[in-house]
Amino acid sequence: MLRIALAQMRVVPGRPDRNVQTMLKMIHEAKTQDVNLIVFPEMAIPGYLLGDAWEQTAFLEDCEAYGQEIIAASQGIAVMFGNVAVDWAKKNNDGRVRKYNAFFTAQDGQLVAPEKTPYPFTIKTLLPNYREFDDTRHFFSLQKLAQELGVATENLLAPIRLSVRDTIYTVGCLLCEDGWSDDYGLSPMKILREKERPDFFVNISSSPYTLGKNDKRHRVFSRRAAETGAPLLYVNNVGIQNNGKTVYTFDGTNAAYDSKGILRLSGAPYEETTQIFDLETLSERRSVTIVDEPEAAPIFRALSYGVHLFLESIGMSRVVVGVSGGIDSAVAAALYARVLPPENLLLVNMPSVYNSETTKGLARRLAENLGCRYATVPIQPSVELTIEQLEHATIENLFDGTTERLSVSSFMAENIQARDRSSRVLAGLAAAFGGGFTCNANKAETTVGYSTLYGDQSGFLSALADLWKYQVYDLARYMNEFVYKREVIPQETIDIVPSAELSDKQNVDKGQGDPLYYPYHDYLFRAFVERWQKATPQDILEWYADGTLEKEIGCAPRLVEKYFPTPKSFIDDLERWWNQFSGLAVAKRIQAPPILAVSRRAFGFDHRESQNGPYYTKKYYTLKEKLLYTP
């Protein structure tokens, strides 16, 4: 019998000390339960998303030293774990020391090395270098090592032999992407299977959560296990890690697939837990049913977990949320209220003359429903002082001795209000309250920069900026129904027209709101950002001309003709938002707060962009011409 523990540990990025402490504790517990093999995730010791901390020699030495502690702790048990492996005698292509993303196996205080390979550990073969992944920046792949040594990659792929009570188990060791080989023209799992028929495979991962990824993993890994005819064990960490601009939750969800590809064990998402089982009886366990749930359920799980751990990681325990009575700030407040005790949450309404009694009432009602702290800080006196100061400032023209004054337009006054709320009131209140203030922007606004820099775009974290507007509404309804099980977010907040209320043209009581048609623009913008091959105006216009636009972008049928009666109105709208998306919105995103990622493409490090301005292709202009001037 081989008793295995899959350790769904919380990995704290950049903290080998804390991670090794967790691992030692879990190893100790596993021993008390007669476990023969405990498996930890990829990069369990250093963490995975560390930016360029991989360039710190002392940090690398430290990770090695902590790795030795785990090896030493493997007396009477086998331990598999991910760590950075350094070959101090070799270099990476950047001239820095050679680093591998490595899979170590230790038993009885010794490393168990794969046979006929240059190192006593397994090296990650396939290094992801897309989305938020930067593996090739820091690590040398097994593929590159093979090229360097002048051998085929196949020759360097070997299983390890684990001896437990006189039985020898052949184990195929994989690191994360090694199991996702479809686009690499080389499958480590297939090679290992053909070479050695391992008794089972272990995939150690550090895989950020995004919507739908678990479903895809189940499909892929279940198929792989069945093809191979050997159990496949998947171990992933929990916790949060970030690349500066983009914050990821890690949901763990360890999994054990039997040799038929049936899921027999699964770790609860976002919990630090261990799954213990006997390999020989894995396929006798009841299969795990994957629960069907609305999209808002995993979104809420990811966001509440992410917010909770982000606050913990930056040492912040008190939060201020500016609440307008509108949907985004209400959802943000309801989210933070699940994470913080009511006395640590302060909601602030900051009315100007443009805010309706309706929304002011809704803001207060929200706070009452949440039972937290609440304050009203009017911005009118300060906004008036600012406008008057700006308009009365004497500009001396030192080149000719004349003087002049500037004037403040109503558009400028809108931005003055937004900045007054965030940079003056919220930032000041948050400091006095001993915490930070939130950014409540959604993904549609973020896409086109429908926000004010140093105004509503500010905050310590954008918890909702990876949600399209419809997902914000879904989340509001989900929280009322399933999380709070009562109307915490007032139904009227869900029902009123979304509006910034920054001028008398944005009167919610008259139904005047944002310039965005969310049921269409959510999907148009998603096509700009989230399609694997990104859509541009050329694609959009081609689909429009073909009558396939709604289908391609996934919005409701016949929306386009409803909003845009003529090709001209359609094109004007398209160019307006494309210009914003690739123009000023980029400048705003550069200075935006970190975003909590849930989608398959979040702004920030996941979606890299240059401030280059909008561009239209030749074909776009031809098609536009045709659409506009064909009778």
- What residues numbered 489-548 form the site for a copy of itself, per CB under 8 A? 532-539
List the x/- string, 112-141, binding to a copy of itself by CB under 8 A: --------------x-xxx---x-xx----
Radius of gyration of the chain from Cα atoms?
A: 28
Give the 3-state secondary structure of residue 603: coil
Using the minimum distance from each CB to a copy of itself, give the nearer residue, 291 or 398. Answer: 398
Among 372, 479, 353, 522, which residue's Cα sits nearest to residue 435? Answer: 372
32 binds a copy of itself (CB under 8 A): no
Binding to a copy of itself by residue 13, rule CB under 8 A? yes
Shortest Å, Cβ 92 to a copy of itself: 7
Of 219-227, 489-497, 562-570, 617-625, the window that binds a copy of itself (rule: CB under 8 A) is: 617-625
- Distance, in Å, from the CA atom of 355 to the CA atom of 70, rounded to the nearest integer, reads 60
Give the Cα separation of 585 and 450 in Å (integer): 8
Q: How would you classify residue 109: left for phi > 0, otherwise alpha for psi between -120 and 50, otherwise beta?
A: left
Q: Choose between 44 and 296: whose C-beta lies nearer to a copy of itself.
A: 44
Residue reference for tokens 């659409």:
627
Q: Which of residues 314-343 bind a copy of itself (CB under 8 A)?
A: 314, 342-343
- Strand ranges (E), 308-356: 319-322, 345-349
416 scored as a contact of a copy of itself (CB under 8 A)? yes
* Shortest Å distance, C-beta 26 to a copy of itself: 21
Residues between 92 and 111 with contacts to a copy of itself, criterion CB under 8 A: 92-97
Name every residue whose Cβ is closer than 8 Å to that of residue 233 and which is 6 or more positions away in sequence: 4, 6, 39, 200, 201, 202, 203, 254, 255, 256, 257
Task: List binders of a copy of itself among 263-302 (CB under 8 A).
Answer: none
Kindly state the smallest distance separating residue 123's Cβ from a copy of itself, in Å: 16
- The whole-angstrom separation of Cα 13 and Cα 45 is 8
Which residue among 431, 505, 554, 562 contacts a copy of itself (CB under 8 A)? 431
The helix-helix angle for 518-529 and 469-478 (nearest 10°) equals: 110
Residues 6 or more apart from 269 whose CB is under 8 A from it?
A: 209, 238, 251, 252, 253, 298, 301
- Determine which residue in the list 23, 35, 38, 50 makes contact with a copy of itself, applying CB under 8 A: 50
Q: Return the number of other C-beta atoms located less than 10 Å from residue 60's C-beta.
A: 20
Pick from 113, 211, 276, 377 the residue near a copy of itself by CB under 8 A. Answer: 377
CB of 384 to a copy of itself, least distance (A): 10
- DSSP-assigned beta bridge partners for residue 234: 203, 255
Judged by CB under 8 A, the residue of 76, 212, 229, 244 near a copy of itself is 244
Quick check: 312 binds a copy of itself (CB under 8 A)? no
Q: Closest CB to a copy of itself among 368 and 481? A: 368
The answer to whether 147 contacts a copy of itself (rule: CB under 8 A) is yes
Looking at beta carbons only, is 257 or 528 nearer to a copy of itself? 528
Other beta carbons within 10 Å of 166: 5
Binding characters for a copy of itself, 559-598, by CB under 8 A (x = yes): ---------------------------xx-xxxxxx----
Cβ 545 to a copy of itself, closest distance in Å? 14
Nearer to a copy of itself, 187 or 254 (CB): 187
What letter does residue 74 receive in the DSSP assignment?
T
Site for a copy of itself in 442-461 (CB under 8 A): 453-455, 458, 460
One-character DSSP codes across 594-610: PEE--SSS-SSSSS---
